Amino acid sequence: MEKQAIAAVHPQQDRALEWAKQAAIVISASLFVALCARVTVPLPFTPVPLTLQNFGVLVVGLLLGSRRGFAALALYLAEGASGLPVFNPAGPGGIVQLLHWPTSGYLISYPFVAGLAGFIYERGRSTFARAAAAGLAAEVLLFAVGLSWLAFWAHSLAQAFRFGLYWFLSAEVIKILFAAAFAARFRRMVKG
């Protein structure tokens, strides 16, 4: 009788521990993106700074998968909207940077970008090529949303492309390749 009572308690404790572990992973991932956001280079010819934020979003999506990646970036946005200094320091921070700033579209897309990268990567072999393809698809989504918002803000699609695309293409390719290499290597280490 006592063994049955103990066995009934352990699954509840195991679930609580697993939930706490997953919550810690998601919180840590949101803080990783916040640290990446601190590495920023304001460019004088555009309101969009060069930052490692997108790299962090890709890494989180690739490593955590679609659900936890989405959750981590949704938490990141909630942290930033509440006023925590997690967004890139070139902007005003808080809800203004999230909803009323030239880079708001990029920020708002982050949970979906991480979710898409994770979704593609978790559906096959954990190879560099698959991670790079997932990163590329996620970046296309990032720029589709970010440039749409920027075009609305600038009242011109051509201006949005000048502000938010042309200057960043080579840097984004490098971020995709590094995120893919990191994710593929990490998965191999975990499995091996």
User: What CATH number was assigned to the domain covering residues 2-191?
Assistant: 1.10.1760.20
Closest by alpha carbon to 36, among 76, 78, 96? 76
Q: What is the pLDDT of residue 24?
A: 95
Res 11: pLDDT: 73
Backbone angles phi, psi at 87, to 5 degrees: -75, 170
Confidence (pLDDT) at 191? 72
Give the model's pLDDT for residue 75.
Answer: 98
Compute φ and ψ for 100, nearest 5 degrees: -135, 40
Provide the residue ranges of all domains of the chain, joining segments of one domain with +.
2-191
Q: Which residues of 108-119 are buried (b: 16+ CB within 10 A; e: fewer)?
A: bbbbbbbbbbbb
Confidence at residue 113, expressed as pLDDT on a 0 to 100 scale: 98
pTM (2 d.p.): 0.89
Mean pLDDT (10-residue bins), the chain, 192 residues: 54 85 95 95 87 96 96 97 91 89 94 98 91 97 96 90 89 96 88 66
